[in-house]
Structure 1
Amino acid sequence: MADVSKLVEARYLTALGEPDARAAVTFLGTERIEVLRFVDGDIARYATLGMSVAPMADPTGALADPDRGPRAELVLSVRLAGAETDKVLRPLAVLAASPQVEGVVVAPGASLDVGEPLWPGAPFTSVLVAEPGGLVEDLELDAPLEPVRFLPLLPMTPNEAAWKRVHGASALEERWLSHGTDLRDPHRGSVDLTD
């Protein structure tokens, strides 16, 4: 069987170029999670590596299938604008380990909360998982393995996260779009949530 991590890293190199930094975090009882940083102009992209080694399993299922189940990696894009965004490495690794640690299935439309700022001084403590397929294409694996999906993460302020819980992910994304919100701005405030 193919080494999923090596295939994922090769896909990143094709889509994003060479990483200029990487860090690894290991949580008790989990696979090692790496976070790679790719810089493109004034944008830093932080991408997880290792989350897709095992498929995500439904926590209500009786037995986890070692082959079948969705696989994903996480990608966060942030503008380099004087914020300490490199400190997002550990929170990102925590989110990437959540399927192994908590039995969470990470899918588009989900909210993931780290319970603290994503980096020092960040106005965000959570992210919205967006649809894959834009920046990094899905990675097909040999059957019966499901493809690896590269899920973009969109930082949310606490007010946006609360509003999303009531109105849904698509409504929040539509609000961001209609207000021209720069979701890569590490200093941005909440979008206008008044009707």
Structure 2
Amino acid sequence: MRTALGEPDARAAVTFLGTDRIEVLRFSGGAAGEEIVRYATLGMSAQPMTDPTAALADPLRGPRAELVLSVRAGFADTDKVLRPLAVLAASPQVEGLVVAPGASLDVGEPLWPGAPFTSVLVAEPGGLVEDLDLDEPLDPVRFLPLLPMTPNEAAWKRVHGAQALRERWLTGGTDLRDPSRGSVSLD
């Protein structure tokens, strides 16, 4: 992460009962006038994600991931997203979820105070932070971008799918890094 994002300027750690420690790192930076803050989890990939229907969990094999959220700085108190991100990162251990591109993750409350978002869409990896290869037989760590969704967008995505929502965002010229944006037109 440091290679792609630089040095973190803040970090917080959360431990949930029965889980490994999850840290959320904050990376500030970007071009002048376009300050972007990135929040990345650290610790989600310590254990592979396993299918909750599997009879036995493989302690070595299985997908590994960390989560990355990018937002414009200075428009909202986005630093309060640290705990919700840690909750999402702990969900594979706590709930047996396999977090993959196209999935929706919901925290049931605003991602930060006043945020119009309570959930995120998991996007395809590889754009911002490249996969981290681990020694065999371990799967590589994938860095999954998170795209905040309004409740209306999340409901629409459940009916029409992730690709259809991404197309709506693209067609609507939606700034997915705007921490106070409204819902895209879903008519």
Q: Does residue 1:95 correspond to 2:88, yes or no?
A: yes
Work out whether residues 81 and 186 of structure 1, in 8 Å CA contact, stay in contact via their aligned partners in 2: no
Runs of 4+ in 1 over 4 A off after TM superposition: none
Q: Does residue 1:151 correspond to 2:140, yes or no?
A: no
Q: Which TM-score applies when normalising by structure 2?
A: 0.97
Secondary structure of the residue that 1:91 maps to in structure 2? helix
Shift of 1:72: 0.2
Secondary structure of the residue that 2:102 maps to in structure 1? coil
Count, aligned residues: 183
Work out whether residues 75 and 180 of structure 2, in 8 Å CA contact, stay in contact via their aligned partners in 1: no
Shift of 1:40: 1.1
- Residue from 116, 125, 137 that aligns with 2:118: 125
Work out whether residues 85 and 119 of structure 1, in 8 Å CA contact, stay in contact via their aligned partners in 2: yes
| Paired amino acid for 2:148 | P
Q: Does residue 1:31 correspond to 2:20, yes or no?
A: yes
Q: Does residue 1:18 correspond to 2:7, yes or no?
A: yes
Q: Does residue 1:52 correspond to 2:45, yes or no?
A: yes
| Paired amino acid for 1:81 | G
Q: Percent identity?
A: 85
Q: Does residue 1:183 correspond to 2:172, yes or no?
A: no
Q: What is the CA RMSD across the aligned residues, in angstroms?
A: 0.5
Where does structure 1 lack aligned partners over 5 or more consecutive residues?
A: 1-11
Matched residue, 2:67 = 74
String of CA shifts for 1:130-189, please: whole Å, max 9, x gaps.
000000000111110000000000000000000000000000001101111000000100
